[in-house]
């Protein structure tokens, strides 16, 4: 604040140091310097200040203060003649007292201004501030302190720091007389956790108190967690995009015109319109995975991930990590965080193949995911929300496994909402000719062969077999005869020979629905059997001896049969 309205000052007698001081005051608007009266000073002005040489030149004085800058008696006489009723005459010694007083007032004003600045800074600081004096008594808390801690100022002010926050950073700085940095604590009376920095305050090497500043860790933690969550979601999205988690087939890829396959395709189309869980049953090799891909492709979320997990192909000890993922350090080899297949399937479809092989303990965890749509990674505490559709497949009799206590009944009902059966090939033999041509083309492209085909008669041989291995067995059979054929039209005899061997092998394995082969005559069967035996033991003398012994005939009889069947 200003001292008062500026006073008019007239100086009688020239003294440079006095004038310089007054000019400084004049510039600060503490006074209004009218000029200098000195008859012997030979200049008309000094640093912009008017110099008068006589009372007549000065005219009527408006001075509030007349300063006598000299010891001459004439100066006093002149001052008495000039002064007004309210004017004050001050001698030089009094001036210096005034100068000191003004300086002190100036310092006080400066300190007051700085105090107001500091007060404003502390009041509007986003961080909480608390100050204690040299006795440990709380003397100041700013508004942010109360905002962060929900503690009113009156519950702190005037109390000893050991009473209100004995383990806090301020108490430690008070006791140790040393700075305390990045201290995490909770104040008494508040559940808010904070990170604080505290420091002692010294003046002239004397301890006068301590101050702490702190901020709410809750906000920092929240922002950090949100950032980490965003980064993790971005990683998952990147994995979904770059990991090839897309369905590769559609219903158009399923070949067949039989009633059995038509019914399955209609069921698959209906399943694609829903997000309900689908259970696909069927023997091995019937195309259950192809159906799962196709259902996802036909759905409204076909652009979302399609993630596959084969429960039988992954060791039991690793399947949980494969499904749920893990945090860094969750177990010995968990060197970094990993998203599981459940997380990667978020928004899309999780295809669980061979679910009958899933461990009971893992079944319980899968049930929880299906019920609550959330889970934690192995070694993690944070719940991760997911929304995906499950398509499960199995060649096992789940009902039997449930009755034996090997599969959870509640999980069975969760899976068995929409049920499809992939029909075995023996129930759709009408589709074999179409499948043969499709598979011949596919195999040819895979192994680099020119297009091949079977004759109608050659195809008819395939209808004699029950195909316990279904389409997978048929594909294996066709690739085998393609590799032996030297013609684009595979010879009927080659098909016949391998079909016989396939049927015999199926009978030996006790194959389901296997029957005695009827493709070869007795002579052809004998020839084929001798050839297979020679292939096994070799055509050397020693090999032929072993072959004859295996066939239960003499070596001479073997030679006769080799000649009769033209095996050499």
Count of C-beta atoms within a 10 Å radius of residue 254: 18
| CA distance linking residue 187 with residue 300, whole number of Å | 54
Strands 206-216 and 128-133, how do they pair?
A: antiparallel
Q: Two tokens at 458? A: 């050659």
| CA distance linking residue 320 with residue 567, whole number of Å | 56
User: Residue 55 above 50 pLDDT?
Assistant: yes
- CATH number for the domain spanning 154: value is 3.30.450.20
Name the DSSP letter for residue 204: T
Q: Is 67 helix (H, G, I), strand (E, B) or coil?
A: strand
Residue 372's pLDDT is what? Answer: 92
**553 and 433 together in one domain:** yes
Average pLDDT of the residues in 385-414: 95
| CA distance linking residue 91 with residue 110, whole number of Å | 28
Where are the strands (E) in 433-522, listed by range?
453-454, 489-490
Q: Two tokens at 27? A: 């510039």
**505 and 545 together in one domain:** yes
Domain holding 540, by residue range, is 427-564
116, part of any domain:
no
Residue 531's pLDDT is what? Answer: 78
HSE-up of residue 332 (Cα within 13 Å, Cβ side): 2
User: Residue 517 above 60 pLDDT?
Assistant: no
User: Residue 511 above 60 pLDDT?
Assistant: no
Average pLDDT of the residues in 239-266: 86
Average pLDDT of the residues in 28-43: 77
pLDDT tens, residue by residue, 466-508:
999 999 999 999 999 999 888 899 998 889 888 888 877 777 6
Helix 259-272 crosses helix 288-298 at what angle (to 10 degrees)?
40
Greatest Cα pair distance in the chain = 167
Residue 4's pLDDT is what? Answer: 44
The total of structural domains in the chain comes to: 4
Average pLDDT of the residues in 284-307: 94
Q: Could you tell me the pLDDT band of residue 539, with boundaries at 50, 70 and 90?
A: confident
Average pLDDT of the residues in 254-278: 94
**400 and 497 together in one domain:** no
515, part of any domain:
yes
118, part of any domain:
no
Strands 206-216 and 193-203, how do they pair?
A: antiparallel
Element containing residue 500 per DSSP (H, E): helix 492-508
Average pLDDT of the residues in 5-18: 76
What is the DSSP secondary-structure string of 128-182?
A: EEEEEETTSBEEEE-HHHHHHH---GGGTTTSBHHHH-TTSHHHHHHHHSS-EEE
> Which of residues 376, 398, 423 is at a domain's end?
423
Query: Of the given ranges (81-95, 282-296, 317-331, 518-532), which has the lowest mean pLDDT?
Result: 518-532
**283 and 335 together in one domain:** yes
User: Residue 298 above 50 pLDDT?
Assistant: yes
| CA distance linking residue 145 with residue 184, whole number of Å | 15
Q: Give the range with max mean pLDDT: 200-214, 436-450, 544-558.
A: 436-450
Q: Could you tell me the pLDDT band of residue 1, with boundaries at 50, 70 and 90?
A: very low
Q: Sign of the CA dihedral 177, 181, 185, 188?
A: positive
553, part of any domain:
yes
How far from chain centre, in Å, is Cα 354? 30
25, part of any domain:
yes
| CA distance linking residue 443 with residue 475, whole number of Å | 8
Residue 326's pLDDT is what? Answer: 83
- CATH number for the domain spanning 451: value is 1.10.8.60
> Which of residues 366, 394, 423 is at a domain's end?
423
pTM of the model: 0.58
CA neighbor of 220 nearest in space, from 198, 238, 195, 200:
195
Q: Is 260 left (phi over 0), alpha (psi -120 to 50) or beta?
A: alpha
224, part of any domain:
no
**413 and 484 together in one domain:** no
2, part of any domain:
no
Listed as own residue / partner, the contacts of 362-366 with beta carbons closer than 8 Å and 24 or more positions apart are 362/316, 362/319, 362/320, 362/323, 363/407, 363/408, 363/411, 364/408, 364/411, 365/320, 365/323, 365/324, 366/323, 366/411
Q: Two tokens at 40? A: 């012997």
Residue 557's pLDDT is what? Answer: 84
| CA distance linking residue 75 with residue 405, whole number of Å | 124
More confident residue, 31 or 269: 269
Average pLDDT of the chain to the nearest whole number: 83
Q: Two tokens at 353? A: 């193949």
């Amino acid at each position: 604040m200003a001292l008062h309205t500026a006073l008019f000052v007239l100086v009688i007698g020239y003294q440079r140091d006095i004038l310089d001081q007054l000019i400084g005051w004049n510039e600060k608007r503490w006074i209004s310097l009218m000029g200098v009266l000195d008859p012997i000073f030979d200049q008309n002005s000094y640093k912009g200040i008017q110099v008068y040489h006589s009372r007549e030149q000065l005219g009527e004085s408006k001075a509030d203060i007349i300063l006598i800058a000299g010891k001459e008696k004439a100066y006093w006489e002149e001052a008495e003649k000039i002064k007004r009723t309210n004017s004050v005459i001050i001698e030089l010694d009094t001036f210096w007292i005034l100068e000191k007083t003004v300086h002190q007032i100036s310092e006080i004003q400066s300190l007051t201004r700085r105090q107001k600045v500091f007060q404003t800074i502390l009041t509007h600081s986003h961080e909480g501030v608390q100050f204690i004096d040299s006795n440990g008594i709380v003397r100041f808390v700013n508004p942010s302190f109360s905002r962060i801690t929900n503690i009113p100022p009156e519950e702190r002010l005037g109390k000893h720091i050991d009473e209100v926050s004995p383990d806090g950073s301020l108490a430690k700085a008070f006791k140790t007389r040393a700075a305390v940095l990045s201290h995490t604590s909770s104040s008494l009376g508040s559940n808010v956790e904070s990170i604080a920095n505290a420091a002692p305050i010294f003046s002239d090497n004397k301890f006068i108190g301590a101050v702490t500043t702190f901020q709410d860790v809750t906000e920092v933690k929240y922002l950090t967690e949100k950032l980490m969550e965003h980064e993790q979601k971005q990683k998952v999205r990147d994995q979904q995009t770059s990991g090839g988690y897309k369905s590769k087939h559609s219903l158009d890829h399923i070949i067949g015109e039989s009633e059995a396959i038509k019914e399955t395709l209609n069921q698959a189309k209906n399943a694609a319109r829903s997000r309900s869980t689908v259970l696909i049953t069927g023997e091995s090799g019937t195309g259950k995975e192809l159906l799962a891909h196709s259902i996802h492709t036909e759905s409204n979320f076909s652009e979302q991930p399609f993630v596959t997990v084969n429960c039988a192909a992954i060791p039991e000890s690793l399947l949980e990590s494969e499904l749920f993922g893990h945090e860094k350090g969750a177990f010995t080899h968990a060197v970094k965080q990993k998203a599981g297949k459940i997380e990667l399937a978020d928004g899309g479809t999780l295809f669980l193949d061979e679910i009958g092989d899933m461990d009971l303990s893992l079944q319980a965890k899968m049930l929880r995911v299906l019920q609550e749509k959330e889970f934690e990674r192995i070694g993690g505490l944070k719940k991760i929300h997911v929304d995906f559709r499950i398509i499960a497949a199995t060649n096992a009799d789940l009902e039997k496994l449930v009755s034996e206590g090997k599969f959870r009944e509640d999980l069975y009902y969760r899976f068995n909402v929409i049920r499809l059966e992939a029909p075995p090939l023996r129930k759709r033999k009408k589709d074999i000719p179409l499948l043969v041509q499709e598979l011949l083309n596919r195999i040819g492209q895979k192994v680099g062969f020119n297009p091949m085909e079977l004759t109608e008669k050659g195809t008819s041989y395939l209808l004699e077999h029950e195909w316990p291995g279904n389409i997978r067995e048929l594909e294996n059979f066709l690739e085998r005869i393609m590799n032996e054929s030297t013609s684009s039209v595979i010879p009927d005899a080659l098909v016949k020979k391998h079909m016989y061997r396939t049927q015999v092998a199926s009978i030996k394995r006790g194959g389901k629905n296997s029957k005695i082969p009827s493709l070869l005559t007795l002579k052809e069967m004998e020839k084929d059997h001798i050839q297979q035996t020679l292939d096994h033991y070799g055509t050397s003398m020693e090999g032929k001896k072993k072959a004859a012994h295996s066939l239960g005939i003499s070596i001479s009889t073997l030679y006769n049969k080799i000649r009769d069947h033209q095996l050499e």
